[in-house]
Structure 1
């Protein structure tokens, strides 16, 4: 196994060859019904996720012939409304919930929080509402890794992770021509889903962005074209938006490392610090069991059969064995 070590200070970037491959998916046994169920399962979601839902439904009905499905696939902006209006059993989000708008609407209706069950990891290159995000710099920039605290100091202005403003590349130890150059921050609109995710995962929900943050369209291609022309630039975008003049950097939770690049392996193993997940959202009254037919369907999705459908679809990354088992426990 070939290992590359890139040092900035005392921290180490892990770039093993195994990082490129997928992690093991859910538990070794196929789906086995805990009980036979019947009735209609109502799902709201996005048209792009329709083929994956159909695959899950067909596989589930092979052992649960008494179940039928109805779908309303109008897109992620209406998905949660089905659950808090009582006309859907499951909301297949395909992206993070908008906080506070979507969760507050649910809480106003039910006076409790919704339940989210992770059913997959976000992908790397798929054109879906939730795609994992890399941190990009110009290829001429010598930086190869960042901690979340450093990233917070660059992208934000409140710094709940502890560091002060980092506004010049020299603030994070970059020498040479960039040492005194300002860090130019690029990103999608601050009210976009990717920016809301970064605000939660990196800025710890602070709403105070770097005042010089430059907004670009959400597809990422124009954004990274700007980074390609700006040696002082930094941005977050999907890997699919990359080009030869920019490079993604490895990330770590803190300076002790290890630092991980964005790969299918690091996402599945949950070692990439800002990995995203795909969820099914439902209502569950405190102290009450989940509707049996819904619970059995979620058990199927979290089984190797359900996760194999995720792999076939190709947009998302299957859950690891450990992640699937953790979610299964939450169904009881």
Structure 2
């Protein structure tokens, strides 16, 4: 059972997801072929840390006449390969970018089809980790809603992106900006203190945060300070020794020493840092806030879990190629999701999410 607790300072109901409540692959239906298929399936994009190969091997035990032609340099090659017609499936560790969505639509006249095939990791480094929000350990705040996060990290905007279309419905005015801790209900010394914001520089994780939190806009709190993955090639050579531009520096040397700071990052970049604490998050204004954990990421109750995708080109109203449909049915079956679990890079899908994705194959 999940545990619930009401934080004394804020009165917010917080859900702590227990291990017993974690999603498993058992409720998923076992794979049963609907028809025998043969031929070659072309994959172009990302190998998903070995998960794609495991799916291929498992699928071939049911369909030995299927062969795979794989070109797996990077996620950045996935949708471009669909656009140019050199692949059947495009495995990708993240969401489609604006240019990817737009270029596909301009070529074919309809959107690219996305199938969610796994969840991003909680604490396995570099595996499409979902963002986690942290504050200084002395901060009495226990939870936030995504709307409040928008107020803290974002700024007024006239609209936001939905796919490649700019929509005014995603806009908001300056009255919804949250710039002091008192606006979040904190009192005493905290009430008038400005909120100092920290987070990632441009990246796939940042695009996800903008999509889920900022209405897919790109206007940030003017005091937002950006950092990149510690130890990565994204840090300029002159700064690699001190790593001042890295996320671990942000957490250890900035947030841990800033009582009035708040930062979002991924769990591996915050691992082992003392002086900070994670914040529970809720989807809306009135719902329970969920503590980030492997279990809440696995059952997707935490609102900032990322998805792993296989993209494909499917014209609306047309049937999916039988061999592609059978392969994706296998991926979304008990056996396919057990392969995700055994690999350990990503997290398997809950039964309800897998079922919704299977419906997209019909």
Alignment TM-score, normalising by the size of structure 1: 0.93
Is the 2:5–2:13 Cα contact (8 Å) retained in structure 1? no
Question: Quick one: structure 1 residues 7 and 86, their matched pair in 2 at CA, closer, same or farther if it must change by over 3 Å?
Answer: farther
> 1:161 Cα deviation (Å)?
6.4
Provide the secondary structure at the position in 2 that maps to 1:13: strand
> Which of 327, 330, 340 does residue 297 from structure 1 map onto?
327
Is the 1:34–1:296 Cα contact (8 Å) retained in structure 2? yes
> 1:223 Cα deviation (Å)?
2.3
Provide the secondary structure at the position in 2 that maps to 1:41: strand
CA distance in 2, matches of 1:113, 1:222: 40
> Which of 278, 282, 299 does residue 248 from structure 1 map onto?
278
The equivalent of 1:218 in structure 2 is 229
Provide the secondary structure at the position in 2 that maps to 1:234: strand
CA distance in 2, matches of 1:8, 1:293: 56
> 1:83 Cα deviation (Å)?
1.0
Mapping of 1:159-308 within 5 angstroms? 160=171, 164-189=176-201, 191-219=202-230, 220-225=247-252, 226-242=254-270, 243-308=273-338
Q: Does 1:15 align with 2:16?
A: yes
> 1:28 Cα deviation (Å)?
4.2
CA distance in 2, matches of 1:24, 1:288: 33
> Which of 133, 138, 141 does residue 143 from structure 1 map onto?
141
74-83 vs 53-62, greater mean Cα deviation = 74-83
Is the 1:260–1:266 Cα contact (8 Å) retained in structure 2? yes
1:131-188 CA-to-partner distances (Å, cap 9, x unmatched) read 1110111111111100111111100012746762111111111123332221111111
Please report the RMSD computed on the Cα atoms of aligned residues, expressed in angstroms. 1.9
CA distance in 2, matches of 1:196, 1:28: 31
The equivalent of 2:62 in structure 1 is 63
Provide the secondary structure at the position in 2 that maps to 1:14: strand
> 1:271 Cα deviation (Å)?
2.0
33-42 vs 246-255, greater mean Cα deviation = 246-255
Is the 1:56–1:306 Cα contact (8 Å) retained in structure 2? yes
Provide the secondary structure at the position in 1 that maps to 2:85: coil
* Unaligned segments of structure 2, at least 5 residues: 158-170, 231-246
Provide the secondary structure at the position in 1 that maps to 2:290: coil
Is the 1:199–1:205 Cα contact (8 Å) retained in structure 2? yes
> Which of 129, 132, 139 does residue 131 from structure 1 map onto?
129
> 1:16 Cα deviation (Å)?
4.7
Provide the secondary structure at the position in 1 that maps to 2:115: strand
CA distance in 1, matches of 2:99, 2:149: 26
* Unaligned segments of structure 1, at least 5 residues: none
